[in-house]
Amino acid sequence: MKKVAIIGAGIAGIASAIRLAHKGYAVEVFEANEYAGGKLSSFEQNGYRFDAGPSLFTLPHLVEELFQLVGKKVSDFFEYERLSTICHYFWEDGTRLNAYAEPPKFAQEVEKVLGISAAKVEEFLKDSAFKYEVLDGLFLQDSLHKLSTWTSKKALRGYLNLPKLGIFGTMNHANEKYFQHPKLVQLFNRYATYNGSDPYQTPATLNIIPHLEYNVGAFFPKKGMVDITNVLVDLAKSIGVKFHFQYRVKEILTQNQQVKGIRVVSQHREEQELFFDKVVSNMDVTHTYRKLLPQSPHPDKLLNQPKSSSGVIFYWGVKKAFPELGLHNILFSDDYREEFRVMFEDKKIFKDPTVYINISSKHKPDDAPEGCENWFVLINAPANEGQDWDKLIQDLRQQVIDKVSRILSCDLASLIETESILDPRSIELKTSSAQGALYGNSSNNKYAAFLRHANFSKTIKELYFVGGSVHPGGGIPLALSSAKIMAKEL
């Protein structure tokens, strides 16, 4: 039986382990942390439970098919619910809008609050669905680095519809042209942040993302986001995958440009060489080359691309319940364009940041003490380039507290009874994401899809790549898709 080593127990690494074990390989996963999941993990503090990273669950069929692959019924192990309201939006002038999950109801809410025709909104969501249908098979299910992808029937359909896919214009330009209303443009522009991009630079192709939430659905795992990690680890173990936690991979061993194995250091600081037929890296592709393959040729053009945004996260235990808030909440900046300019050009955080608040205790009450809420507060931030993060975070904390207090008419500072903070430095330390970027390379140009590394190495035989830093991109659905593409190639 051929042996495969997987570096990193992020969600893509776990999915890869399941797919390869099902193919008949002996699979071992090596994880530097003492827990699985990478960004998709959790922690508890003073009676509050927090999901540490991703907070939105879409395309659940990508989880379900891993169970189906090995002949198990997903409902016996994993439960989730579809959200009736996707997000609650707030602006400084008092405008509030509930983004209901059903497109007609959402469209009617937009018409009532913003005065934009409901038919116009539904038309936009149908167009989003069309773009996704065309692009899904081409960009998200197959390797862009194989000739067969570009000569397929799916590719032909893409070529015929190129003018409709938004490749040649920006997201913001397309949304302004479609809606004219600045608040609705801002609402749909925010979807650029789902892969760490700037709506004023990224292609309008990313307008496929609203389709996932409104037409397919946004969901919540009944045991919290971390349950995705937990059930997939259990599934992997049930089919023979071995996990080694607190084992840091120091080097990918090669001979004659072919994988030979890995060099690891265990939790007891014991260093050893282990031999494998194939290696799959779920580590950020930049760190994989720079740290684990120092003697091999590096694809510097790809590795040196500008990085996506990162984030600063405040995990706050709040000793009050806010009925006006839901699971997902956005408090918008009054100057969205300047917010992104400051982030991507000045490499700083804007003085009036957009604030995202996720409160899982709205759906899972035991995540917080009675009458309290667990707030996951995310502010988009630049990747780490040596900024004075301590000063930036100190200023940002006060700005966020002031903004929330204004909009929700409360004294937030007096309600915070426990706090933890994650910033680009600690994101990089905990997840090996280059510069703490959450999504690898940025997507701020029309060639971005082609500036991600393939799911296989062109120079080192039997070396493969999965996760948010390679094709097709970041976020739970794309990370799971990367494992699927890799398994096809392997």
Instruction: State residue 98's pLDDT score.
Output: 98
pTM across the whole model? 0.94
CB 124 within 8 A of CB 214: no
Does residue 122 share a domain with residue 208? yes
- CA dist 379 and 131 (Å) reads 29
Question: For every one of its 490 residues, what pLDDT tens digit does the chain have, with 9 covering 90 and above?
Answer: 899 999 999 999 999 999 999 999 999 999 999 999 999 999 999 999 999 999 999 999 999 999 999 999 999 999 999 999 999 999 999 999 999 999 999 999 999 999 999 999 999 999 999 988 887 766 777 766 666 665 666 666 655 565 666 677 999 999 999 998 999 999 999 999 999 999 999 999 899 999 999 999 999 999 999 999 999 999 999 999 999 999 999 999 999 999 999 999 988 888 999 999 999 999 999 999 999 999 898 988 888 888 999 999 999 999 999 999 999 999 999 999 999 999 999 999 999 999 999 999 999 999 999 999 999 999 999 999 999 999 999 999 999 999 999 999 999 999 999 999 999 999 999 998 999 999 988 888 776 666 789 999 999 999 999 999 999 988 999 999 999 999 998 8
> Is residue 70 assigned to a domain?
yes
> Is residue 341 assigned to a domain?
no
Does residue 179 share a domain with residue 205? yes
Helix (H) / strand (E) containing 116: none
> Is residue 297 assigned to a domain?
yes
Does residue 125 share a domain with residue 62? no
Which of 152, 178, 213 delimits the end of a domain?
A: 213
> Is residue 113 assigned to a domain?
yes
Q: What are the residues facing 87 on neighbouring strands?
A: 99
Residue 103 to residues 108, 111, 166, Cα–Cα distance (Å): 9, 12, 22
- CA dist 327 and 85 (Å) reads 9
> Is residue 333 assigned to a domain?
no
Does residue 156 share a domain with residue 112? yes
Q: Which residue has the tokens 């909104």?
A: 121
Instruction: State residue 166's pLDDT score.
Output: 67
Does residue 22 share a domain with residue 72? yes
Which of 213, 234, 250 delimits the end of a domain?
A: 213
Does residue 156 share a domain with residue 123? yes
Does residue 296 share a domain with residue 250? yes
Question: Structural domain of residue 108, as residue ranges?
Answer: 103-213
> Is residue 384 assigned to a domain?
no
CB 301 within 8 A of CB 285: no
Instruction: State residue 160's pLDDT score.
Output: 58
Instruction: State residue 379's pLDDT score.
Output: 98
Could you give the residue ranges of the DSSP H alpha helices within 267-312? 285-287, 300-303
| Tokens representing residue 218 in the block | 């946004």
Does residue 206 share a domain with residue 119? yes
Q: What is the CATH number of the domain that holds 274?
A: 3.50.50.60
Residue type, 226: V
Among 465, 453, 27, CA closest to 236: 27
Does residue 75 share a domain with residue 7? yes
Q: Which residue has the tokens 């619910």?
A: 81
> Is residue 110 assigned to a domain?
yes
Helix (H) / strand (E) containing 129: helix 118-135
Instruction: State residue 125's pLDDT score.
Output: 97
Does residue 207 share a domain with residue 107? yes
- CA dist 291 and 266 (Å) reads 17
CB 10 within 8 A of CB 39: yes
Which of 161, 187, 213 delimits the end of a domain?
A: 213
Instruction: State residue 449's pLDDT score.
Output: 61
> Is residue 442 assigned to a domain?
no
Does residue 208 share a domain with residue 256? no
| Tokens representing residue 105 in the block | 């109801």
Does residue 165 share a domain with residue 108? yes
**Domain count within the chain:** 2
